[in-house]
């Protein structure tokens, strides 16, 4: 599934292509896609394919095509503070992008059938938190993953504002999925070969919209052959954040506002200088003229007045200099870009606080 847009050279170019093709349509979704490099969720030997609009599977590890994730993110209509449940959470790529939008007061849960994939997702999540340059640009709702079959979720679990299922749902399980939603919530899932958006408009009222044709592997049915009993999946409880954690969120938010105000002041409220246009260089060239007179042909050269009579057949030093300058303009020397500056980190490290508190504010990130 996929192949709707051209491959990119890097993550940003892939996002540009998805925007151009109208798969990504809103700023929040674009920011989330740019913040998390899709290649980071591939095994090293398969990263050459990371920026193609194709699904990828290796063993139990699976990623849907970028165009599918784009449509899913747009259809979910995510907002800060919502609760989200990802059924078949896989590598955690989608859950992490969602977490960037939900913010610190959202809920972000995932259910995954395979325990080895859960471990893979936790490794990728830890890598993102510790190393990504994008992490400090957001307040993140960290996903929590549990192992189990998503068709065996405990009936006393809380309902969610947004639910996504990453496997084909049979018609017989449609009502089960709908009951995971709060009133006003949105469910996105592959249903009868169509990516489908269902909005719960009342206790027993629904609106359904077909988004696009898709092909997903079907949900795996629960297997009770061993014990004959259902293995209920218990989702994490919605916990109240500690006062210390709330203080960290508030301090980081205040510092970000200060940085934003300082940036506006430096840039003149965000107004940039008008672009400067290069004056086109006009080269003076010798001209050859051919005159047809009756049946004879006469050829002559019209020289520039500044030409030296003794150098009619050679290139002047001025021409050589102009050619050199033109060549430099066409092929400017490659300059190594300056590394991005993490202003939040710099300001936190300058706070008059003990070092352990500074590193707590930075989530113990190494850079």
Domains of the chain from N-terminus onward: 70-239 (3.40.50.150), 242-264+342-366 (no CATH)
pLDDT on residue 326: 72
3-state secondary structure (DSSP) of residue 16 = helix
As a whole number of angstroms, the distance between CA 193 and CA 216 comes to: 7
User: What pTM was estimated for this model as a whole?
Assistant: 0.78
- pLDDT for 282-295, tens place per residue? 444 444 444 444 44
pLDDT on residue 245: 93
pLDDT on residue 336: 58
Q: Identify whether 134 is a catalytic site residue.
A: no
The residue ranges of the chain whose pLDDT is under 50 are 270, 272, 274-308, 310-311
pLDDT on residue 283: 45
Question: Which tokens hold the place of 337?
Answer: 């870009």
pLDDT on residue 364: 87
DSSP 8-state symbol, 210: E
Kindly report the length of the chain: 367
Of residues 277, 280, 298, the one with CA closest to residue 289: 298
pLDDT on residue 69: 97
pLDDT on residue 240: 86
pLDDT on residue 186: 98
- Identify whether the C-beta of residue 149 lies closer than 8 Å to the C-beta of residue 113: yes
DSSP 8-state symbol, 157: S
pLDDT on residue 277: 44
Q: Annotated catalytic residue: which of 6, 64, 89, 96?
A: 64
pLDDT on residue 341: 81
């Amino acid at each position: 599934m996929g192949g709707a847009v051209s491959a990119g050279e890097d993550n940003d170019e892939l996002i540009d292509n998805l925007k151009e093709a109208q798969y990504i349509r809103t700023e929040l979704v674009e920011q989330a896609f740019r913040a998390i490099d899709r290649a980071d969720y591939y095994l090293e030997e398969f990263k050459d394919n990371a920026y193609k609009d194709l699904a990828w599977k290796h063993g139990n590890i699976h990623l849907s095509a970028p165009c599918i994730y784009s449509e899913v993110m747009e259809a979910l209509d995510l907002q800060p503070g919502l609760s989200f449940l990802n059924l078949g959470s896989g590598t955690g790529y989608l859950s992490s992008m969602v977490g960037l939008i939900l913010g610190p007061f959202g809920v972000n849960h995932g259910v995954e059938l395979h325990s080895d994939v859960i471990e893979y997702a936790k490794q990728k999540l830890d890598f993102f938190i510790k190393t990504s340059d994008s992490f400090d640009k957001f307040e993140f709702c960290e996903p929590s993953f549990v192992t189990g079959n998503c068709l065996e979720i405990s009936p006393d679990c809380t309902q969610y504002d947004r639910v996504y299922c990453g496997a084909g749902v049979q018609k017989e399980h449609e009502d089960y999925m709908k009951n995971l939603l709060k009133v006003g919530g949105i469910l996105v899932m592959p249903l009868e070969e169509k990516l489908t958006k269902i909005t719960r408009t009342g206790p027993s009222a629904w609106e359904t919209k077909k988004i696009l044709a898709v092909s997903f592997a079907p949900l795996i049915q629960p297997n009770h052959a061993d014990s004959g009993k259902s293995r209920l999946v218990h989702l994490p409880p919605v916990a109240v954040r500690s006062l210390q954690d709330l203080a960290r969120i508030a301090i980081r938010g205040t510092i970000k506002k200060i940085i934003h105000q300082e940036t506006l002041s430096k840039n003149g409220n965000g107004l940039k200088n008008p672009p400067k246009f290069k004056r086109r260089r006009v080269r003076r060239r010798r001209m050859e003229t051919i005159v047809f007179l009756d049946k004879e042909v006469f050829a002559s050269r019209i020289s520039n007045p500044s030409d030296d009579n003794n150098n009619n057949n050679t290139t002047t030093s001025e021409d050589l200099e102009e050619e050199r300058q033109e060549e430099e303009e066409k092929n400017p020397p490659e300059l190594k870009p300056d590394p991005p500056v993490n202003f939040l980190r710099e300001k936190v490290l300058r706070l008059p606080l003990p070092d352990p508190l500074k590193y707590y504010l930075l989530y113990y990130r190494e850079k």
